[in-house]
Amino acid sequence: MTTKAQGPTLTLPVGARDHAQGPAAATVTLVEYGDYECPYCGRAYPIVKELQQRMGDKMRFVFRNFPLSEIHPHAAQAAQAAEAAGEQGKFWEMHDLLFENQNALGLVHLAAYGERLGMDPAALTEALQRNAFEERVREDFMSGVRSGVNGTPTFFINGTRHDGPWDLPFLIAAVETAARHRAQ
């Protein structure tokens, strides 16, 4: 009997430090390493939303920051803005705003998004200027590097890197296959 070789796996298991949507006991956990300024991540954003809707409670979604700062000058600061919002229980709201406004990620825009979410824009600006969440973003980034992430978006399904296409039909098929294997 031959078994299919598995790809790289998550070196940092999903845990309490992660931003997650969906039940911890879900059959499938989809982890995305993403960059808020990456156009490919922007294209993946509605695909993941659709996948979440279709899978419901059978899937938990986790987002980890992987800003490619060399090519996306606003990505690291946008990731820090999401983490700052997370401190106030608004990570997912900021996450969505950032992806829905990928072409407006400057400091003034991030402060306005924070204000829209009920955050103090001056405090958010100050936190971003002093890189208050830089270490948290770096932890995500380094966990991605150790897990074999070299571009964005990179998805892991139940801890194993998904190396196939991530358009909706392929990602649904991969997640449903993982759900069936887990259920057996």
Query: Which secondary-structure segment (H or E) carries 29?
Result: strand 28-34
Report pLDDT digits (tens) over 80-135: 999 999 999 999 999 999 999 999 999 999 999 999 999 999 999 999 999 999 99
Strands 59-65 and 28-34: parallel
- How confident is residue 3, by pLDDT bands cut at 50, 70 and 90? very low
Buried residues in 15-34 as b, exposed as e (16+ CB within 10 A): eeebbbbbeeebbbbbbbbb
Handedness of CA 113, 119, 120, 126 (dihedral sign): negative
Give pTM, 2 decimals: 0.94
CB-based contacts of 15-18 (< 8 A; 24+ apart in sequence): 17/139, 18/62, 18/64
Report pLDDT digits (tens) over 41-65: 999 999 999 999 999 999 999 999 9
Max intra-chain CA distance, the chain: 62
Of residues 84 and 2, the one with the higher pLDDT is 84
| Token pair in block for residue 85 | 């919002």
The class that CATH gives domain 19-183 is: alpha beta
Query: Which secondary-structure segment (H or E) carries 28?
Result: strand 28-34
Buried residues in 82-98 as b, exposed as e (16+ CB within 10 A): bbbbbeeebbbbbbebb
